[in-house]
Structure formats: C-alpha cells, structure tokens
C-alpha cells in the first residue's frame, strides 16, 4: 500500500488539541511525547476495559512489546513512533513489513516524526490498511455517540448520524416540462433517505439516474443497429444549426393541503458515496427522471427537457416548485427539512446529468461530482463525422438507450396507455439521430452541454479514467476547458476504465469529498482546497501526484517515416465474418500487426509526460471519393503497467458509517502486460478539417490535415517504444465497410505531435 493524502488540512495546534479532546483523547502539551502517545494508544482501544492487554500485543521495536516500553525509561524515538503508528493503522510487523524505515519510505507515509501532538492528529486522518481513515474506523466502533448532530474532525463531518433510524419517503416533484405533450407538467418520482434530525436542516446528495427504477434490456437489444454497411459518400455542405428555445410550463398555483409524504420508500439500490454521506448528515436522494417507472412523461435522452426535470428537484429543495404526495396531485409536500444546498454524484449517465445540471446555473447546486460524464452526446455516439459505438457496446445508439431507460414500459398498465406515445417518440428519434451520415445536426446540438458551460456557477469535481473507451476522455477534456475561468474545477484522472474510484486503497477520495462538501454544503470553514489536477502516475503502483493543469503547450514532434504506406480496406469474407462476431479477435490481430494496418514504432529517448491530445499531421489519399481512418497509439513492449479494472484488496473492509453499506476495498493492479493503449481516434475523411463542414474527397489526390486523438496524461519512460497504428474499420467502434478501397499515407510528410510537460 502507498499513502496518497489529499484530504488532510493543516490547522493550528490549539485547534488540534481541542478536536482531540472532543473525541476523548486526553492529550496535553505539557505532557511528555511518550505520555501523550501512551494516552492516545490506550484510548484507541476504548472497546477493551483492560488496555494493558492490547498494548502487550503490540511492539515498540523488534525486541520490545509496547506495554513494557511504556513502563520503562526508554525514550520515544522516530522508529518507535512509526512502529506503533503502523500497527494502529492495521499493518502487521513481519507480515506487511520487516523494516520500518524502508516501509515508511516505500509507502509514502505522510507523517514526519516531530511534534507528537501534530503527528497523532494527522495519524487519525491517515488511512488504515482496510481503507478507512483511523478516525472513521474508531467512530464506526462507537468512539462517539450517534446523536444525529454534526461533529467535525480536521474539517470533515464524522459519522454521527444514524443510518438505521432514518426517514425513507417518496414524493413526486412537478417539473416545468411536458415531454409527452399531454398539456400537463411532468412529474418525477423522488426517492429520499434522510437523517431523522428534526432540529436540523440538512443538505442533499442527489444521484440522477434513469437506470434507478429499472431498465428494459429486451427493448434495448431489439433496438440495436447492424454495423455492417458501406460508408456513405456524403454531399459536401456546411451544416446549419440554431439555438432551441425550451418550452417551459407554469407550475401549479392551486392552494392545496400541505401534507407529510405518504409513500414510504422500500429497498433501493444505492451508491456507496451517498451512503457514506448519509452517516454524516446528508440526505440521500435518487431521481430517475421523466419517462421512468413511477414518473410521467417521455424519455427524451439527454436533451434539456430531461435536464430541467432533474433541476426541478433542486428547485423543490429550495422552495421554488411543488411536490406532491402522489400522482393525483391532491396534496403538496414541503422540503422543510432541507437547507437548500445540493451536490450531485454518480458515474456515466449519472455523471452526465451532473455536467448537464451544472450548465443550468440552478441556485442551490453547490458542487457537482461528475464521474465519467458525457459533455456532448454526439461525442459519445459519433466521432468526426462517423457513426461510432461507445466502447464495449457495438451497435448501440441513443435510441436503443432510450428503449433501455424508458422504464415505464416495465409497468404493464402504464405502458398500455403510453405505448403509442413511446413508439412515436422512438420512431422520431431514430430519424433525427441520423445513422446514415454520422454528421452533427440539430438533434445532437440540443444535447451538447458545452454550449451552456458559461452558465456554470458551482464548484466542479471530475473523475475520469484514461482507459475509459466508453465515455472517452474527450468528454472531460472538453468540459474542463469549457468552464469559465472563475469556476473552481478539479480533476481526478486515474488509469482505470469506466469505473468508480471512491473505494480504492490508494487515494483518499471519499475523505477529500467530505472536506469539500462539509465546506460547501454545511458551511464549515475548513479552508480546504483541492489541487486542480490529481493524476494517477502510470509508471508506479498506487502513486498519485498533483499537476497544475490538464494540457501542455510544448510539443514533441516525431516524424513518421520515409515511405508511402497503404491500408487495404477489404478483408477476406471469412476474416471479416470472424472479426464481426468477435471484435476482441480483431483487436488481438491489430496489436499483433496482423490486420490491415500501418504500424510505426518510435523509440523513446527520454522520459516524456504526455499531457493533452496527441495530434497527427497527415498527408493522405483515398482510392475512392470517401474514406475513414482509425488510429491508436500504444506504449508497446513487455512492462509492468496498471490494469484498467480494479481488483479486490479486502472484502467488505470499507465502512461507510457504523457497519453501514460496507464495501470491498479495491485497487488497480500493477502487472506485466505486452502493451498499453494510450489514445485512439476515428475520422471521416469528409470531415477532416471541421465537424460542421462536409468536404469532398478527391479520389487519388493527396490531402493534408491535422487530427487530434483522445486527450490523456501518460508518462512514457526512456527506453520504451511508442507504436502508432493507422487502419480503417474498427470492428468494435466504426461502421463495418468491407468494400474495395485503399488509403495511402505519405509518411515522409506526416508527423505525430505529443503535448508534454
């Protein structure tokens, strides 16, 4: 294990002593360091009446148990302090380490022995081997009373709220949209779990997920698209767009009875970060949105009607709109328990709605935690004028996602009444999204949140994986750079795929979010500041570092060769069929150099920290009046690298409260691998210069253009090998065209540019 501590807040010693005493630690500045350490250790074993016993089972050094040490005249040294500290954090001598100094250095232990009060205070804020901070571990064992009041340590809320005796309720919030054209405002079902703390007004963590009430996989599978087709030769044009004005309805102005919520919330699937905050006095809210089971309206999949329906929940928490006890709209429910301050959480579609909500500028939204979120739906299902599939889901498009998430279809009676509306909406969507050309159009323009990034007023935290080929890194790059300069923005860029990172051993993400949300939602003045970029170093195990920015100005230029090389588009029918059935077989051949491709190897002569999008400057011609290009850049050759999928470190060792929603401790394994994909890209040659300009491709004539691949941060080490692969059809991502044409690349006039720090 390595320690990477980004949540710790430096504070005055007088405040440290005060907070330690509030926890019951009898620490005095007049005591000797040894006496304070003994008092601290004994209090850490508060569950045991005779603390001599656990002290006798710890060691002070390799020849002396801790109880004997405290009873002796032996002075406290740095080695003894570290030995004791490591054991309190759950590390076992002779098992986890055999040399204290080496382990302290290799693990990046965050505490430097000095003033023992400072050291003990920071130790409580340090993560244990099990993944909890030491103070959270002790509180989960009942170090403090579960009194449903806020208590803080080092600027972070402690788990002092009951997660068993809570209020579980459902309300139906009125939205300003009418997605099914019924003439009535849509209602969204809101599932709430909140602390039973009647004397307090509490903030809320909202997860907006169209998956929450269930999904219709049968309908989605039926809506998948065939990927085998010829690439369309498009008519040159300039694409024209307009700003869509959202039609919003007036809310209910009737004078209705005000009631408590009458519907109780049964079991729901939750998100562990929300569970963590529930134990710390934050309401846990889940909203599925329009067109989902229990709500009304139609699933409009990513447009601002859907977004404004989610926004209505924040408006209700701030008293600006109405909620009802049920769909009869006969009684109002007030959010009189809410302090009006909100953060959002969740990954993928959930993180997408965090991005989208931020662009509404809704008052009360203080922080969005946008985890692997989409910033423009075009960039999820299209790329540079090509129809593409998100990684791992060939044939999916936004209409099949609509079919998946329109969970009203799971309630037979409701769907009986809504079937015609649903079928008409799905049919219209299939026409609007245009799978023929792959061009950006009004449908996609209405689902582009980057256009409204100037309206963001809240603090934004992004998490994203550099190996996420589902919601590709371009999404976080674009949103990160589209935000106004005055907005506080932060990025955790890890080396994983499309995965959560809040339960990883190597990073105190939960604690960092606790410090931030305690400040922004609870108003606790802790002076906490996150770095702009926190990046997981790919060259070592469990290593994170802060960077000043996402993107570097300096460019490292690599010539691509001294010849003209060609790519044959068509495959033998048997090979084409094999690749169509298994895109993994295609990738295997591609990385082995056996597909139709150009491979260029470039030796790395010095360490390079790539930071931003790799750019290809290419001179290309096609044998026909159309063409597509795919590209991948690899760190090629056998080496130890971070795998993209987290593996288990300890089962159910993370406690999100007090034996509440315990979850597995995970981490990206650092393992031997033959290569690592660094970045990718896909391009329609008819959109080679501009997304909104469709150009002709003159057959057998050279064209020059610049092409940015997916942005990333990656450390290439001296002596390694960069491999650039150029090819046409990608059987996982692009249309599968098996017609006869050839792409030629003049490598003598082509370059690869790496932005580097």
Q: Tell me which residues are annotated as active site.
A: 348, 468, 498
750 is written with which tokens?
């082509």
Give dist(CA 265, CA 168) in Å, integer: 5
Cβ neighbors of 545 (< 8 A, separation 6 or more) are 534, 535, 537
Query: Within a 10 A sphere around the Cβ of 744, how many other Cβ atoms?
Result: 17
Give dist(CA 444, CA 454) in Å, integer: 19
Considering Cα of 412, then 416, then 421, then 423, what sign does the dihedral take?
positive
Cα 220 to chain center, whole Å? Answer: 24
Quick check: 123 and 85 in contact, CB under 8 A?
yes
Query: Within a 10 A sphere around the Cβ of 412, how many other Cβ atoms?
Result: 7
Give dist(CA 235, CA 700) in Å, integer: 18
Among 666, 677, 670, 656, CA closest to 730: 677
Give dist(CA 367, CA 370) in Å, integer: 9
Cβ neighbors of 582 (< 8 A, separation 6 or more) are none
DSSP result, 503-535? TBSS--HHHHHHHHHHHHTS---------SEEE
Among 732, 694, 708, 731, CA closest to 232: 694
Give the alpha-carbon dihedral of 328, 333, 339, 343, to 10 degrees. -20
Dihedral pair phi/psi, residue 447, rounded to 5°: -120, 30
Quick check: 451 and 482 in contact, CB under 8 A?
no
- Sole residue written with tokens 């701030």: 318
Give dist(CA 701, CA 695) in Å, integer: 13
Residues in the chain: 757
**What three-state secondary structure class fits 620?**
strand
Query: Within a 10 A sphere around the Cβ of 717, how many other Cβ atoms?
Result: 13
**What three-state secondary structure class fits 537?**
coil
Distances (CA, A) of 740 to 230, 233, 322, 627: 10, 14, 61, 11
The secondary structure of the chain in percent helix, strand, coil, rounded to multiples of 5, reads: 25, 30, 45
Dihedral pair phi/psi, residue 563, rounded to 5°: -150, 175
Dihedral pair phi/psi, residue 640, rounded to 5°: -85, 130
Give dist(CA 159, CA 659) in Å, integer: 11
H/E run at residue 312? helix 304-317
- Sole residue written with tokens 């959270």: 136
Quick check: 451 and 378 in contact, CB under 8 A?
no
Query: Within a 10 A sphere around the Cβ of 142, how many other Cβ atoms?
Result: 11
Q: Are strands 338-344 and 365-371 parallel, antiparallel or unpaired?
A: parallel
């Amino acid at each position: 294990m390595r320690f990477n501590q980004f949540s710790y807040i430096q504070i005055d010693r007088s405040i440290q002593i005060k907070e330690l005493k509030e926890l019951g630690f009898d620490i005095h500045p007049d005591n000797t360091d040894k006496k304070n350490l003994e008092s601290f250790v004994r209090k850490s074993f508060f569950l045991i009446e005779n603390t001599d016993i656990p002290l006798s089972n710890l060691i002070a050094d390799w020849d002396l148990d801790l109880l004997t040490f405290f009873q002796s005249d032996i002075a406290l040294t740095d080695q003894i302090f570290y030995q004791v500290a490591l054991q309190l954090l759950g590390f076992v001598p002779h098992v986890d380490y055999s040399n204290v100094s080496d382990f302290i250095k290799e693990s990046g232990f965050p505490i430097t022995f000095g003033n023992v009060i400072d050291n003990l205070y920071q130790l409580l804020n340090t993560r244990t081997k099990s993944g909890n901070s030491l103070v959270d571990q002790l509180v989960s064992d009942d170090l403090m009373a579960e009194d449903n009041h806020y208590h803080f340590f080092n600027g972070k809320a402690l788990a002092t709220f009951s997660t068993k005796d809570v209020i579980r309720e459902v309300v139906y919030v009125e939205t300003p949209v009418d997605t099914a054209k019924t003439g009535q405002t849509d209602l969204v079902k809101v599932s709430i779990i909140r602390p039973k703390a009647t004397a307090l007004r509490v903030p809320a963590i909202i997860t907006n997920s169209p998956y929450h009430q269930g999904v219709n996989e049968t309908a989605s599978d039926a809506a998948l698209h065939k990927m085998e087709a010829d690439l369309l030769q498009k008519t040159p044009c300039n694409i024209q767009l307009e700003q869509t004005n959202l039609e919003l309805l007036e809310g209910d102005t009737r004078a209705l009875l005000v009631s408590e919520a009458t519907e109780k919330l049964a079991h729901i699937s939750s998100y562990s970060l929300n569970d963590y905050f529930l134990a710390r006095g934050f309401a846990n809210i889940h909203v599925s949105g329009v067109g989902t089971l229990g709500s009304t309206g139609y699933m409009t999949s990513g447009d601002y009607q859907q977004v404004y329906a989610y926004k209505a929940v924040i408006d209700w928490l701030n008293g600006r709109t109405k909620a009802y006890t049920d769909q009869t709209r006969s009684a109002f429910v007030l959010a009189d328990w809410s302090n009006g301050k909100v953060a959002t959480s969740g990954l993928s579609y959930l993180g997408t709605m965090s991005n989208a909500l931020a662009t509404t500028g809704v008052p009360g939204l203080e922080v969005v935690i946008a985890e692997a979120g989409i910033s423009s739906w075009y960039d999820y299902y299209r790329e540079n004028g090509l129809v593409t599939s998100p990684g791992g889901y060939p044939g999916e498009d936004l209409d099949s996602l609509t079919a998946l998430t329109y969970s009203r279809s799971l309630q037979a009676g409701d769907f009986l009444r809504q079937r015609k509306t649903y079928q008409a909406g799905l049919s219209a969507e299939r026409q609007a999204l245009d799978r023929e050309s792959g061009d950006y159009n009004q449908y996609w323009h209405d689902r582009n949140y980057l256009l409204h990034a100037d309206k963001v007023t809240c603090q934004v935290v992004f998490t994203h994986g550099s190996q996420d080929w589902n919601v590709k890194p371009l999404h976080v790059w674009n949103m990160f750079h589209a935000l106004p300069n005055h907005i506080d923005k932060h990025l955790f860029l890890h080396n994983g795929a499309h995965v959560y990172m809040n339960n990883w051993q190597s990073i105190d993400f939960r604690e960092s979010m606790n410090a931030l949300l305690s400040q922004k939602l609870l108003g606790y003045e802790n002076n906490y500041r996150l770095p702009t970029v926190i990046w997981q170093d790919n060259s070592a195990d469990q290593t994170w570092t802060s960077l000043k920015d996402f993107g570097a100005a300096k460019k490292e230029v690599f010539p691509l060769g001294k010849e003209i090389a060609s790519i044959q588009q068509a495959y033998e029918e048997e090979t084409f069929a094999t690749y169509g059935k298994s895109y993994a077989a295609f990738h295997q051949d591609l990385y082995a150099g056996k597909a139709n491709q150009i491979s260029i190897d470039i030796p790395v002569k010095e360490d390079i920290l790539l930071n931003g999008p790799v750019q290809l400057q290419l001179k290309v011609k096609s044998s026909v009046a159309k063409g597509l290009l795919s590209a991948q850049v690899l760190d090629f050759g056998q080496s130890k690298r971070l795998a993209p999928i987290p593996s288990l470190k300890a089962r159910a060792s993370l406690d999100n409260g007090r034996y509440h929603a315990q979850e597995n401790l995970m981490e990206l394994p650092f393992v031997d691998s033959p290569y690592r994909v660094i970045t990718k890209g896909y391009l329609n040659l008819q959109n080679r210069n501009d997304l909104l300009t469709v150009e002709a491709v003159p057959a057998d004539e050279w064209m020059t253009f610049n092409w940015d691949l997916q942005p990333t941060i990656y450390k290439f080490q001296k002596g390694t090998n960069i491999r650039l692969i150029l090819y046409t059809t990608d059987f996982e991502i692009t249309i599968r065209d098996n017609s006869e044409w050839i792409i030629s690349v003049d490598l003598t006039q082509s370059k690869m540019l790496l932005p580097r720090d």
